[in-house]
């Protein structure tokens, strides 16, 4: 009688880490990782030792010293007696403002230009082509400087608005002043304000959050949630009966009535800019440096986004357009309801790179005097303190965090719109 037994299991030997294909790749990766970590540790240790011998040990105590410089465009209160850390924080906020405004504007302009480049109208198509080629082939720094020069040289000075012999007038019923020092617009004010919440006390990162703004965001969020519930109910009725109920007036009421009621309760009104002395006072001042940087980065990046949009649209089969036209859809609805939703799956991944490039290109703000994170932490703070390594490392970490955040949001959106295989 023959018995069949399992073969004895092979015992593990150290030589298997090199000669056995099951372990060889892992061994190589571990050795490479250890080598990289040793090299990085040697470089860091060597840098620290050299700086210590030069009398410049790596430390970040300079961040709590007075900055002794001003920031012209800022979102929070700041004086030259505040610390370098607070100045850097305000610079980071300025960078985020330009990045957000630039990404939104570049997306709107880029999508519009990309669609118009495919227009059957020969003149419109050629004009859009000239725009794309002109902006793509000229360095963005030149566009920033050019935009700043145009704003300074072509717009009237504040004194042109004064007196009976004024050569310039305010716009929009005397509520907006466009000058060579910037644009003055009305600012929102509340006569029955709920007050502010102080974050981080009196530290360098202190800032106040308006309870009015929080209340507005809560009401807006609740309205959007209610609108989505109404739309979901309308979809359910349509699925059950085939007829979709009219809900647009309900959605408008949900969106505007609670918000108007809240603004009335808070005593909302506008503070208008007024010419006093040699300049305008009151309102919100958007300096030329911010406007020039915003416009130049937006129009420059929009040229690249336009090409991405055009390529995404051309990637969709022409049969989709023909089928939609056969159903009686107009060209505008075909593009909005059929082509663009499918093209988004092709457009989103390369568009992420352009958002990141716009954010990093905002570091050129120092060319027009806009104090972003590069101008504060990587500029004046570094020159005053002599802490090059610390400032550059912190600056790199800031841009890395912003870029990773943008990538995470866009990758999440890309997951939402991509095709789901069954």
pLDDT tier at 144 (50, 70, 90 boundaries)? very high
- Does 226 score more than 90 pLDDT? yes
| Mean pLDDT across the chain | 86
Give, to the nearest 10 degrees, the angle between helix 388-417 and helix 340-361: 180
Q: Mean pLDDT across the stretch 244-261?
A: 90
Extract the tokens encoding 293: 């940087």
Q: What is the three-class DSSP state of 243? A: coil
What is residue 19's predicted lDDT score, i.e. its pLDDT? 73
Q: How many angstroms from the chain centroid is the CA of residue 193?
A: 29
**Cα–Cα distance measured from residue 334 to residue 316, given in angstroms and rounded to the nearest whole number:** 12
- Does 291 score more than 90 pLDDT? yes
Name the range with the highest mean pLDDT among 83-87, 114-118, 130-134: 130-134
Extract the tokens encoding 398: 């800031």
pLDDT digit string (tens) for 71-110?
888 888 888 888 888 899 899 999 999 999 999 999 999 9
Give, to the nearest 10 degrees, the angle between helix 388-417 and helix 84-116: 40
What is residue 297's predicted lDDT score, i.e. its pLDDT? 95
pLDDT digit string (tens) for 322-380?
888 888 888 878 888 888 888 888 888 888 899 999 999 999 998 998 999 999 998 89
Backbone angles phi, psi at 361, to 5 degrees: -70, -20
What is residue 7's predicted lDDT score, i.e. its pLDDT? 62
- The answer to whether the beta carbons of residues 317 and 208 sit under 8 Å apart is no
pLDDT digit string (tens) for 173-192?
888 989 988 899 999 889 98
Name the range with the highest mean pLDDT among 168-172, 294-298, 351-355, 402-406: 294-298
Residue whose entry in the numeric block shows the structure tokens 């060889």: 24
What is residue 280's predicted lDDT score, i.e. its pLDDT? 87
Where do the H-state alpha helices sit in 175-247?
Answer: 211-241
Q: What is the pTM of this model?
A: 0.83
Q: Which helix (H) or strand (E) segment is 276 a member of? A: strand 274-276
- The answer to whether the beta carbons of residues 271 and 190 sit under 8 Å apart is no
**What 8-state DSSP symbol labels residue 229?**
H
Q: What percent of the chain has pLDDT over 90?
A: 37
More confident residue, 140 or 167: 140
Extract the tokens encoding 204: 């360098």
Please enumerate in sequence order all residues whose Cβ is within 8 A of that of 131, keeping only pairs 6 or more positions apart, or say none: 113, 303, 306
pLDDT tier at 420 (50, 70, 90 boundaries)? low
**Cα–Cα distance measured from residue 61 to residue 390, given in angstroms and rounded to the nearest whole number:** 10
What is residue 9's predicted lDDT score, i.e. its pLDDT? 66
Buried b (16+ CB within 10 A) or exposed e, 182-219: bbbbbeeebeeeeeeeeeeeeebeebeeeebeebbeeb
């Amino acid at each position: 009688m023959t018995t069949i037994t399992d073969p004895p299991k092979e015992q593990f030997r150290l030589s298997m880490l090199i000669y056995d294909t099951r372990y060889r790749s892992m061994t190589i990766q571990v050795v490479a990782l250890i080598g990289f970590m040793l090299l990085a540790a040697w470089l860091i240790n060597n840098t620290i030792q050299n700086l210590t011998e030069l009398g410049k040990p790596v430390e970040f105590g300079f961040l709590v010293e007075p900055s002794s410089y001003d920031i012209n465009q800022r979102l929070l209160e700041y004086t030259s007696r505040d610390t370098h850390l607070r100045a850097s924080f305000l610079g980071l906020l300025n960078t985020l403002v330009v990045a957000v405004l630039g990404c939104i504007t570049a997306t709107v302009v880029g999508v519009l230009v990309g669609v118009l480049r495919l227009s059957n109208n020969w003149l419109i198509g050629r004009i859009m082509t000239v725009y794309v080629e002109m902006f793509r082939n000229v360095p963005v720094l030149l566009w920033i400087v050019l935009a700043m020069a145009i704003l300074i040289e072509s717009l009237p000075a504040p004194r042109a608005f004064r007196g009976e012999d004024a050569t310039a007038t305010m716009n929009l019923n005397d509520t907006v002043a466009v000058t060579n020092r910037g644009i003055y617009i009305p600012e929102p004010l509340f006569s029955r304000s709920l007050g502010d919440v102080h974050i981080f006390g009196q530290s360098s990162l202190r800032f106040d959050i308006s309870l009015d703004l929080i209340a507005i965001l809560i009401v807006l969020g609740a309205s959007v949630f209610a609108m989505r519930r109404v739309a979901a109910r309308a979809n359910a009725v349509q699925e059950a009966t085939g007829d979709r109920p009219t809900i647009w007036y309900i959605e408008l009421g949900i969106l505007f009535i609670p918000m108007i009621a809240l603004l009335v309760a808070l005593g909302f009104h506008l503070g208008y800019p007024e010419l006093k002395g040699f300049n305008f006072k009151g309102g919100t001042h958007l300096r030329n440096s911010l406007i020039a940087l915003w416009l130049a980065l937006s129009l420059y990046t929009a040229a690249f986004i336009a090409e991405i949009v055009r390529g995404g649209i051309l990637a969709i089969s022409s049969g989709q357009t023909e089928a939609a036209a056969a159903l009686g859809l107009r060209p505008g609805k075909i593009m909005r309801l059929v082509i663009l939703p499918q093209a988004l799956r092709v457009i989103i991944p390369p568009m992420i790179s352009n958002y990141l490039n716009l954010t990093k290109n905002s570091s050129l703000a120092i060319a027009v005097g806009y104090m972003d994170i590069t101008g504060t932490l990587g500029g004046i703070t570094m020159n005053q303190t002599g802490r090059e390594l610390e400032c550059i490392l912190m600056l790199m970490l800031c841009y890395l965090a912003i870029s990773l955040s943008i990538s995470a949001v866009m990758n999440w959106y890309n997951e939402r719109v991509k095709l789901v295989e069954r």
